[in-house]
Amino acid sequence: MIASKLKPGDEVRVIAPSRNLTEVRQDVHHHAVDFWRKEGFNLTFSKNSREVGKFHSSSIASRVEDIHEAFSDPNVKMVITCLGGFNCNQLLRHLDYDLIAKNPKILCGFSDITALNNAIYAKTGLVTYHGPHYGTFAFDQGTEYTRKAFFDCVTIDAPSWLHLLNQR
């Protein structure tokens, strides 16, 4: 199952299933918000993304609530993580995989988020994206390839390599 591709104006929800948003430097956060908005997307943040608990994460219940809220909100078209960490695996047995399967969305993140990506794919068949966190787009240098590859994957129906061949 592949979620619908992203279009300008779509809502992108930032969630924090590992470390929380307070771990992102303020200058990086503001620059990332500006980037997403300049690209034409409506960037929103999960309710508990700034909650601080053990291991710089919010509680398990809060993180699960944010994931369920993002997937159940019909306005959200993509869910992107704020950071990795090392405790995302705590969430896996608490997720409502039926809810996620009934509301397919693009989910993107890496590092610790790989556990979440793999569990969702294994339990629902939803293709997830092992790719940049939202803050990655705050950096101006060295990210051109990442930005292009990312947006090709989440906005173009044809595989990225096929799109490039058609441009010749």
Backbone φ, ψ for residue 76 (5° rounding): -80, 125
Whether residue 82 contacts residue 14, with contact meaning beta carbons closer than 8 Å, is answered with: yes
| Amino acid letter, 142 | G
pLDDT, tens digit, for every residue of 58-90? 999 999 999 999 999 999 999 999 998 889 999
Candidates 64, 65, 62, 66; CA nearest to 52 is: 62
pLDDT tens digit sequence for 18-69: 999 999 999 999 999 999 999 999 999 999 999 887 777 899 999 999 999 9
b/e string for 47-73 if b means 16 or more Cβ within 10 A? ebbebeeeebbbebebbbbbbbbbbee
pTM score of the predicted model:
0.91
Write phi, then psi, for 101 (nearest 5 degrees): -65, -35
pLDDT, tens digit, 9 for 90 and up, residues 120-134: 999 999 999 999 999
| Residue 168 scores a pLDDT above 60 | no
Q: How far apart are CA 72 and CA 39, in angstroms?
A: 24
